[in-house]
Amino acid sequence: MTKKNVPPPVEEIDANIISDDPWDGLKCFTDARIALGRSGVSLPLRESLSFRLDHARARDAVHSPFQAEELIRELETDGLECLELHSAVSSRDEYLTRPDKGRCLSEKSKARLKEYPHKGFDICLAVSDGLSSRAVHENAAPFINTFAETLASTSLTLSPVNVVRNGRVAVADEVGQLLGARLSVILIGERPGLSSPDSMGIYLTWTPQPGTTDEARNCISNIRKAGLSVPEAVRKLAYLIEEAFRIQGSGVELKDRMGDNYLPFGREPASLTQV
Amino acid sequence: MAKATPLRSGDVLAGVAATSEEERVRAQMELADVPLTRFLNECVIPYEEDEITRLIIDTHDENAFSPVRSFTVGQLRDWLLTEEADSETLAALAPGLTPEMVAAASKLMRLQDLILVASKCRVVTRFRNTIGLPGTFSVRLQPNHPTDDLKGIAASTLDGLCYGCGDAVIGINPATDSLDNIVRISEILDDLIARYDIPTQTCVLTHVTTTMEAIERGAPVDLCFQSIAGTERANASFGVNLPLLQEALEATRSLARGTLGDNVMYFETGQGSALSAGAHHGVDQQTIEARAYAVARRFDPLLVNTVVGFIGPEYLFNGKQIIRAGLEDHFCGKLLGLPMGVDVCYTNHAEADQDDMDALLTLLGSAGCTYIMGVPGADDIMLNYQSTSFHDAAYLRRLMGLRPAPEFEAWLRSAGVLDETGKLRPMQPGNGLLALPDAIQ
């Protein structure tokens, strides 16, 4: 027997591949993705995947179908009348590329509002998926319930909840006008950030009508679990509504000077104290 | 022009795009036969109506234009690709070209044409270092923070410096534009680069009028920033016009803070901004974008970058459109003589992801792009969009053998960030740079 050729031993590679950055203590000062370390000069896989997960969540928030029926069922169970409406957009891709169409109602939805027997509300309420259906799924129903309850203690009249698929903020101008409302409020999914895919915004417009521009609106943004809470957002909206009726206007002329002790419409409904 | 433009959502939204693929190519064939002189005689936006048209026509250099005077758009494209069109020739030609000529040529070009021609253009600018030299590639360090927390800003600044970034500028987008805040951030950035003797410049990206107020208050302003667009009306929506920009240039230059040069302006642009302001005059968004470069070059900027994917999918729908637009903007800017960088970026509602950004980044590296943004982990937590990271910059430098601006590179070596061969060194825990955020109380 001949002796086999034994290859020279190959040294095992150190499994400590990532160069860590010795300034990770600074992470307490910012949520920015600092001190990520590197593989060579490149991003370590754990960071690459963590970024990809956040992006996936934000994408899902944009593209998940709006569960409008579920929202309507939930609100109707709570005794709120709802109207299901569509913008003039025919698909989600069209929604993303044609903001002009997202600002108008479809012909059918327009007709539905025109035929609606009651007109002339103080406040017209609309809700739309906007750029994050997830934001609306998670935040709209609790918000609307609390808001409706708060408003019930006042003499202000509220429209049915107009649930609009594929709407932009300005779609509430047309809805409000067709229902003869003095003021319109729309809850809408905001453009999702990498760390905030679930953020809902609210826009308020005095004497809504198509063609209204953004400087005539007031906005409350970042309503989500890790952001502005529902009770706090309702309090803010109540303040803006009171001010809008007082000055008969909205937008740049309506300044947010809400004090810490402000009580919506002078009262404190039980639900507002729950956090 | 609009119908000859490769498909993008913004032109469809504006109702100016070709309605079929064939119509688009036929429009390109027609455009190829248009003589360049026609752009001097027929303006896409009337001379009487728009100060940028007047700027373009009134400052056109006939003498520089004379070598290509007889060309059609198609001939310009063909000639740009020849060896005769070298760096010196292109630099001499730049004042003779108008944005419309350059935009028209770009519409006929494939990506490799845009890359090859841009890679031949040399534009060098100076403030405290030298940007745009052959073989270099710079980075704007963008340490934004949602509440402008100074410690948070310093932490991200340190992160970027340790990855060799910040030679183009250390530039903050402030969360609030109050004068006090602008002055406060300017002072702290100035203090940081003075303390560590870093040969770079700082900028707080606010409106020119706010920067001018900050200058009056005695703030240490290196660069004056402004977003600009390619029509007078779009600029009006940004609250600026040419005389105001001239005033801002003079105010900033009066501080004489540059040690190597007096390029003090920093401009950002982006396809779609005129349309979103309803100020596009029926012109396609890429031609309007090129017209913004005529505004920029009037003021000898240190830096200009397009923020290519920021504005959203209604203007550039997907990765393919963003990549093409980024290369077009870089090509047009360079050919017109600008120190052109690109904010390679996208939003979460665009059909794009990190793979698209890698593709654009690498193509821009081949095209000789002057600089990109460096954002920690590519995630801007203040502006809520994804740009390029410090790691991305290090990747491109390693892949293509590119180096930082020479003065900054020397500093990086002395600070222990780079080794003798220009590679990133592991940061030693005792390195004095790591104490940078401690300087902030």
In this predicted complex, what is the ipTM?
0.95
Q: Cβ-count burial of A39 within 10 angstroms (0-12 exposed, 13-18 middle, 19+ buried)?
A: middle
pTM score, two decimals?
A: 0.91
Q: What is the pLDDT of residues B122-146, one digit of tens each?
A: 999 999 999 999 999 999 999 999 8
* B172-201 pLDDT tens trace: 999 888 899 999 999 999 999 999 999 999
- Residues of chain B with C-beta less than 8 angstroms from the C-beta of A32: 143-145, 152, 155-156, 159, 375-377, 379, 381
pLDDT per position as a tens digit, A63-92:
999 999 999 999 999 999 999 999 999 999
User: Residue A1: what pLDDT?
Assistant: 57
Contacts of B427 in chain A (CB under 8 A): 21-23
Helix-helix angle A133-152:A68-77, to 10 degrees: 20
> In this complex, do B349 and A194 lie within 8 Å of one another by their Cβ atoms?
no
By the 8 A CB rule, do B417 and B425 touch? yes
**C-alpha span between B237 and B274 (Å, rounded):** 9
Q: Which chain B positions have a beta carbon within 8 Å of A43's beta carbon? A: 377, 389, 391
Which residue from A97, A60, A91, A167 is spatially nearest to B313, judged by alpha carbons?
A: A97
Are A34 and B156 within 8 A, CB to CB?
yes
Tally Cβ neighbours within 10 Å of residue A17: 12
CATH of span A68-272: 3.40.50.11240
Burial B326-360 (b: 16+ CB within 10 A, else e): bbbbbbbbbbbbbbbbbbbbbbbbbbbbbebbebb
For B424, the token pair is 């990133």
Contact A55 B313 (CB under 8 A): no
Q: What is the pLDDT of residues B240-255, one digit of tens each?
A: 999 999 999 999 999 9
Q: CB distance A98–B349 less than 8 Å?
A: no
Contact check, Cβ <8 Å, B348/A62: yes
Q: Which residues contact A84 (CB under 8 A, 6 or more apart)?
A: A68, A69, A72, A163, A165
CB contact under 8 A, A51 and B354: yes
Start-end of H helices in B217-316? 232-237, 242-253, 273-276, 285-298
Q: Do the chains contact at A97 and B437, CB–CB below 8 Å?
A: no
Chains A and B form CB pairs within 8 A to the count of 132
Confidence (pLDDT) at A268 = 60
Nearest Cα of chain A lies from the Cα of B393 at a distance, in angstroms, of 9
A-chain residues within 8 Å CB-CB of B426? 19
pLDDT digits (tens, 9 = 90+) for B85-96: 999 999 999 999
What does the alpha-carbon distance between residue A220 and residue B7 come to, in Å, rounded to a whole number? 36
**Residue carrying the six token digits 């009726």:** A245
Structure confidence at residue B178 (pLDDT): 85
Judged by CB atoms closer than 8 Å, whether chains meet at A27 and B154 is answered as: no
Q: Of A48, A37, A16, whose CA–CA distance to B427 is shortest?
A: A37
Say how far apart CA B198 and CA B407 lie, in whole Å: 9
Render B372-397 in DSSP notation, one character per residue. Answer: EEE-GGGEETTTTEE---HHHHHHHH
Query: Average per-residue pLDDT in chain A?
Result: 92
Q: Do B377 and A51 touch (CB under 8 A)?
A: yes
Q: Find out whether B143 and B170 touch, Cβ atoms under 8 Å.
A: yes
Interface of A with B (CB under 8 A): 19, 21-23, 26-27, 29-36, 38, 40-43, 47, 51-52, 54-55, 58-59, 61-62, 96-100, 131, 191-197
Tell me the chain A residues in contact with residue B354 when contact means C-beta distances shorter than 8 Å.
51-52, 55
Distance CA B309, CA B352 (A): 9
**pLDDT at residue A153 tops 80:** yes
pLDDT band at A274 (very low <50, low <70, confident <90, very high): very low
Q: Per-residue pLDDT for A273 more than 70? A: no
Question: Which portions of chain B are predicted below pLDDT 50?
Answer: none
Domain boundaries, chain A: 14-25+36-63, 68-272
